[in-house]
Structure 1
Amino acid sequence: MLALDDITVLSLESGVSAPLCTRMLGDFGAEVIKVERPGVGDVNRHWDSAVYGDSSAHVWVDRNKLSIELDLKSDEGSTIFSELAAEADVVVQNYAPGVVERLGVDYERVSQLNEDVIYLNISGYGRTGPYSDRKAYDLVMQGETGSILMNGSPDEPAKIPISICDINAATYGTIATLLSLFHRERTGNGDEIDVTMFGGMLSWMGYFPHKYWHNDELPERIGMRHHLITPYGPYETADGQYINFAILSEAHWKEFCVEIIDRPGLLTDDRFETNEDRVANRDALESTIESIIESEPCDHWVDLLTESTIPWGDVNQLDEVLDHPQTDHLDLVQEFETEDGPVQYIDNPISFDGLETTADRMPDLGEHTDDVLEAIGYTDDEIDELRENGVV
């Protein structure tokens, strides 16, 4: 059983945020119709050619979708969109500011055709306010929301390599859509939803705003360490590897000093009495811990930490993660067949006893145009004429 069987999602999407949101809806059975520019398609199709000539980004975010090429600037294309929107449960859009309004495919227009539609806007800053006209991409939002200047080493800030702002917006967009579907089930009412990358990332700032509001502290860049806790993070060992552990409590600290590094004297050092003391005297403590850890090979510390209650782990490269025993146990790497060959993918990580996920297609540009149009009553001759006129 798929949770979103019989739910139709019509998506005006580009890049990562909205496509990832609708892909997650598609994973649970929604029929997702992806509207793309004729002959061009989504920008994410053109970023590389890693997967049998297809972009790795496209393969990541566009599975489980129907692709229809549609010129929304034409009268015929606008009519086709209206016919599709009138039957859709959900419309999703993340076009640049003002585009859906200019094209006449915004919520005001769609809701006149379909009063119980759920219409999700994903944007950088929102549709109102002083920044509403600005375009927003992951890199831009990482800088705008403070992530870049708090990430990296003391000497240099760093961008987070994962598209974290896009993933944030996609996740909140998925949650919002599911909540609205549940609300509609109860009340019969549709809704317009706004999800912003800016607001989403600000909501992920965790304890940092509280540290600023109450202690006037701005987060410094501390590399692989933790702003609130120490010792914490990967430490290099004698054989050039890393051991990664977190001392999260006073019990952990005592166990670490006595059982792991054999330095019970640290427990009576006033500089390290509490976690706040240890953070305040981070430089002195970290240099001591680093010199101890780098005196023995990784396996030495693995043996000791394995017998402890302290959280610890390896520091893996991507290939090691993909071949990880837990990855295998959780069946996280799946594949489906395409005309070009098998395509591997990371499965949706949510597991239910009574619900399934699906992955059964990777749409070529416009692959399903005819099927979608036929489903809403267009004949072969009418479709041929639309194609000749560049509408589809």
Structure 2
Amino acid sequence: MQALDDITVVSLESGISAPLCTRLLGDFGAEVIKVERPGLGDVNRHWDSVVYGDSSAHAWVDRNKLSIELNLKAERGTDLFHELVEEADVVVQNYSPGVVERLSVGYEDVCETNEEVIYLNVSGYGRDGPYSDRKAYDMVMQGETGLIQMNGSPDAPAKIPLSVCDINAATYGTISTLLALFHRERTGEGQEIDVTMFGGMLSWLGYFPHKYWHNDELPERIGMRHHLLTPYGPHETADGQYVNFAILSEAHWETLCEDVLESPGLLADERFATNEQRVEHRDVLEPTVESLIAEQPRDYWAERLADAGIPWGDVNELDDVLSHPQTEHLDLVKELETEEGPVKYVDTPIEFGALEFAREPMPDLGEHTADVLSALGYDADEIEALRTAEVI
């Protein structure tokens, strides 16, 4: 059984944030109809061609979907969209500000067709306010929400390589849609939802706002170290590898000094008596710990950290992660069969006792146009006429 196997989602999506949201809904069993521009499709289809000619982004976010090409600038195309919406439970859109309203496919328009619909807007800054007309992409949002300035080394800021702002919006979009479906199950009411990348990333800033509000402290860039804790992070070993460990408590600190580093002098040093004091004097403590770790190879420290019960791990390359023993144990890498060949993917990392995931390959552009229209009652001649009129 799939949790959303009786739910239909119609999506006006582009890039990563909304497509990842609807892919998750598709993973949970929803029928996702991806409405795409004729002849072009989602921009994410064109970023590279590494997956048998398809893009890696398309392979990541577009599985478990149907693709229909539909010209929403044509009046007949808008009419067809509303026919789709009449049968839908959810509409998702992340077009540029104002586009869905100009195309007559915004929430107010859709409600005239289906008043019980759940309509999710995913945007950069929201649909009103001083920044509402700005387009937003992941790197832009990383800068706008402070991530770039707090990430990187002291001499240079850095972007987080993952599309973390898009993933944030997709996650909140999925959660909010599921909550709205639950609400509708109880009340029969649809509703409009707004999820913003800006608000989502602010909610992920964690303890940093509190450090600012209560201590007037802005986060400095500290590379591989931790703003709140020390010692913490990867440390290079004598053989050029790393051990990555975290000292989270005073018990950990005592064990590190006595049993791992065998440096009781660190434990006796009043400058390092508490975590706050260690952070205050990190310019002395961290080079000292680094120099001690650099004296022995990785395996030496791995054994000592494990025996001491201190949280630790390796610093892996991507290929190490994909073939990691725990990756294999959790069965996280699976394959989709396509006409071009098998496509590996990382599965949704949830294990249910009584629910299953959908596992269908990503669609070619417009692959399901005829099938979707046939399900609406159009015959072959009518579909061909729409194609000739460049509506589909």
Q: Does 1:36 align with 2:36?
A: yes
Q: Specify the SS of the correspondent of 1:353.
A: coil
| In 2: Cα distance, 1:360 partner to 1:128 partner | 37
Equivalences for 1:144-223 in 2 at 5 Å? 144-223=144-223
Letter in 2 for 1:321: V
Q: Which residue of 1 aligns with 2:259?
A: 259
| In 1: Cα distance, 2:77 partner to 2:115 partner | 21
Q: Which residue of 2 aligns with 1:383?
A: 383
- Identical amino acids, percent of aligned pairs: 74
| In 2: Cα distance, 1:303 partner to 1:350 partner | 31
Moved over 4 A (4+): none
TM-superposed deviation, 1:308: 1.5
| In 2: Cα distance, 1:326 partner to 1:356 partner | 21
| In 1: Cα distance, 2:3 partner to 2:52 partner | 31
| In 2: Cα distance, 1:42 partner to 1:266 partner | 57
| In 1: Cα distance, 2:329 partner to 2:366 partner | 37
Q: Which residue of 2 aligns with 1:143?
A: 143
Letter in 2 for 1:224: M
Q: Specify the SS of the correspondent of 2:243.
A: strand
Equivalences for 1:1-392 in 2 at 5 Å? 1-392=1-392
| In 2: Cα distance, 1:114 partner to 1:183 partner | 17
| In 2: Cα distance, 1:92 partner to 1:200 partner | 17
TM-superposed deviation, 1:298: 0.5
| In 1: Cα distance, 2:184 partner to 2:361 partner | 29
TM-score by length of 1: 1.00
Q: Specify the SS of the correspondent of 2:244.
A: strand
TM-superposed deviation, 1:4: 0.3
TM-superposed deviation, 1:7: 0.1
Structure 2 unaligned spans of 5+: none
Q: Specify the SS of the correspondent of 1:227.
A: coil
| In 1: Cα distance, 2:86 partner to 2:107 partner | 12
TM-superposed deviation, 1:360: 1.5
Q: How many residues align?
A: 392
Letter in 1 for 2:68: I
TM-superposed deviation, 1:361: 2.4
TM-superposed deviation, 1:186: 0.4
Write the deviation string for residues 197-244 of structure 1: whole angstroms up to 9, x where unpaired. 000000000000000000000000000000000000000000000000
TM-superposed deviation, 1:272: 0.1
Letter in 2 for 1:127: R
| In 1: Cα distance, 2:88 partner to 2:361 partner | 21
Letter in 2 for 1:219: P
| In 2: Cα distance, 1:210 partner to 1:61 partner | 35
TM-score by length of 2: 1.00
Letter in 2 for 1:173: G
Q: Specify the SS of the correspondent of 1:307.
A: helix
